[in-house]
Structure 1
Amino acid sequence: MQRQRSIPSTKVNVVIKALYVFLLLGIAASHVAAQDSLLTGYVLELDSGEPLQYVEIKNLKTGVAAESLEDGRFSIAAKKNERLQFEYPGYRTDTLVVIEFTIKRVYMAPDGSAIQLDEVQIQAMTDSRLDAELKRAEVEGQFTETSQQRGGVRISPSRWFGKTGRQARQRHEMLLAEKERRQIDARFTPEAIMAITPLKGEDLELYMTKYRPTVEFLTTANESDLRLYIMDTYAKFKALTPKQRSEIKIPERESR
């Protein structure tokens, strides 16, 4: 019977070491690749150097989007030579080509657009633009600020009494009113009312003006609650005298 030859232990050790080194190199390469796929940085205002929150950062190649945080910090998946777009209401849209993955500081400049908005302009906004303007007004209207050097939160009289802060709070009220109006209109519709009641024409407009529900009610109300609300208020509407109906003022709305 022929005896099998054994493999020298030195050769086994060499093979094991080679496999170990190969495994370590693979792990290191995957780690570097993972790092290279995430770009981190800060978005700041050009004039003041203050961080900008809610800036939308979009990878124009992949469509991946991110949003800057309260301190302006952002992180987004990207690779070399891909272009990132930075967009924020009231500021010039900017782009950045990814060259390397050190922490970036992106400065955005105001576009000179008017701060004041009238009701017609607000009504013409898309829902996404309305939400963005609401966030912007919230940030600009804040009268408290966080100090990284002193620590904690402190009151800023200049923000509260300043012209920009006052305009931002006024704009915020108008924007919020429009958002709530859209939320109500989405559910308290003529179709929903005519499906339950015989109302139409001028009577329908008078009813919808008089018994328009609040956004607080609609936030928690399901379809059964809304149906019951319409039936109850329709009964009250039928009981109104001609004089009481004539006193209902139908609001004028701009055509869209």
Structure 2
Amino acid sequence: MQCQKPIPYNPVRFVKALHVFLLFIVSAYSAAAQETVLNGYVLELGSGEPLPYVGITNLNTGATAESRGDGRFSVSVRKNERLQFEYPGYRTDTLVVTEFGVKRVYLTPDGTAIQLDEVQIQAMTDSRLAAEIARARQEGQTTEASQHRGGLRISPSRLFGREARQARQRYKLLLAEQERRKIDTRFTQEAIMALTPLKGEDLELYMTKYRPTAEFLASADESELRLYIMDTYAKFKELTPAQRAAIKAPERNESP
């Protein structure tokens, strides 16, 4: 058996190949960092009315723009950059760009108590959701500082007042949405499909039946979450067709 002769080293070919490789890397990086036009609407939270001439600032580059008369906006932005929306009489909001579908940004009138429904809460950005939770917590407090006796005292107006009661109800809705997002971030279809053969309707039924709590996920690391998925999948396989049919997926309202 004859041994093949080694291919002689050719420095010219090596340099050309290296040049092509570097061009490929640079092109891929440039494509990833390329600006994309993000389109959307700025609306008032509560009424859904468009807000014209809202100031929009890219916090990463300093570039500015504003919404049109009908609330529409178009800005050039890169993925993971942050856009800040400012409008007189409304609370400033910040949007982190993670994908480039049409966005609807809802601004809250400053100092105005608003009754929020589930659709409006789901439409909030994470930063606005956190701000509204802090606001509702403060407005719904049942105690206040006493300047004369020191410490805290129960305030009847805070305990029984209409606005305080609404704030406490709003706080519960907002907190539930925040917890839902925390769960959805980790308990994903991708994570489950990587460990089980579930897909389609069975995957949806499993995720509904064995959706973990936010408290569990707050303390569980990735290995504990994988173990949870495998253990609950074993239980899911043992369910009878009637038991699976009894599982009802929760209805979710779509954002407008």
Matched, 1:143 2:142: yes
1:142/1:203 Cα in 2 relative to 1: closer, same or farther (>3 Å)?
same
Quote how far apart the aligned CAs of 1:255 are.
3.0
1:137/1:93 Cα in 2 relative to 1: closer, same or farther (>3 Å)?
closer
**Structure 1 counterpart of 2:252:** 253
1:240/1:93 Cα in 2 relative to 1: closer, same or farther (>3 Å)?
closer
Aligned residues: 155
Q: TM-score, normalised by structure 1?
A: 0.57
**Structure 1 counterpart of 2:132:** 133
SS at match of 2:144: strand
SS at match of 1:237: helix
Matched, 1:152 2:151: yes
Note the alpha carbon deviations across 1:32-54, whole angstroms, 9 max, x for none. xxxxxxxxxxxxxxxxxxxxxxx
**Structure 2 counterpart of 1:238:** 237
Larger radius of gyration: 1
Quote how far apart the aligned CAs of 1:147 are.
2.4
**Structure 2 counterpart of 1:211:** 210
**Structure 1 counterpart of 2:219:** 220
Note the alpha carbon deviations across 1:98-148, whole angstroms, 9 max, x for none. xxxxxxxxxxxx747452100000000000000000000000000000123
CA distance, structure 2, for counterparts of residue 114 and residue 149 of structure 1:
30
SS at match of 2:183: helix
Quote how far apart the aligned CAs of 1:150 are.
4.0
SS at match of 1:154: strand
Large movers: runs of 4+ above 4 Å: 91-94, 110-114
CA distance, structure 2, for counterparts of residue 151 and residue 92 of structure 1:
35
Aligned pairs for 1:109-188 within 5 A: 111=110, 113=112, 115-188=114-187
SS at match of 2:129: helix
Quote how far apart the aligned CAs of 1:170 are.
0.3
CA distance, structure 1, for counterparts of residue 151 and residue 253 of structure 2:
46
Paired residues of 2:159 and 2:165 also in contact (CA < 8 A) = yes
CA distance, structure 2, for counterparts of residue 180 and residue 93 of structure 1:
23
Q: TM-score, normalised by structure 2?
A: 0.57
CA distance, structure 2, for counterparts of residue 93 and residue 249 of structure 1:
38
Aligned pairs for 1:46-57 within 5 A: none
CA distance, structure 1, for counterparts of residue 90 and residue 230 of structure 2:
51
CA distance, structure 2, for counterparts of residue 135 and residue 187 of structure 1:
24
**Structure 1 counterpart of 2:21:** none
CA distance, structure 1, for counterparts of residue 162 and residue 197 of structure 2:
51
Question: Which amino acid in structure 2 is aligned with residue 147 of structure 1?
Answer: S
CA distance, structure 1, for counterparts of residue 185 and residue 175 of structure 2:
15
1:221/1:111 Cα in 2 relative to 1: closer, same or farther (>3 Å)?
closer
CA distance, structure 1, for counterparts of residue 145 and residue 172 of structure 2:
24
Quote how far apart the aligned CAs of 1:224 are.
0.4
Question: Which amino acid in structure 1 is aligned with residue 170 of structure 2?
Answer: R
CA distance, structure 2, for counterparts of residue 219 and residue 205 of structure 1:
23
Question: Which amino acid in structure 1 is aligned with residue 137 of structure 2?
Answer: E
Quote how far apart the aligned CAs of 1:226 are.
0.3
**Structure 1 counterpart of 2:190:** 191
Quote how far apart the aligned CAs of 1:253 are.
1.4
Paired residues of 2:118 and 2:253 also in contact (CA < 8 A) = no
Question: Which amino acid in structure 1 is aligned with residue 153 of structure 2?
Answer: R
1:126/1:92 Cα in 2 relative to 1: closer, same or farther (>3 Å)?
closer
Paired residues of 2:183 and 2:217 also in contact (CA < 8 A) = yes
Percentage identity across paired residues of the two chains? 75
Quote how far apart the aligned CAs of 1:152 are.
1.8
Note the alpha carbon deviations across 1:1-50, whole angstroms, 9 max, x for none. xxxxxxxxxxxxxxxxxxxxxxxxxxxxxxxxxxxxxxxxxxxxxxxxxx
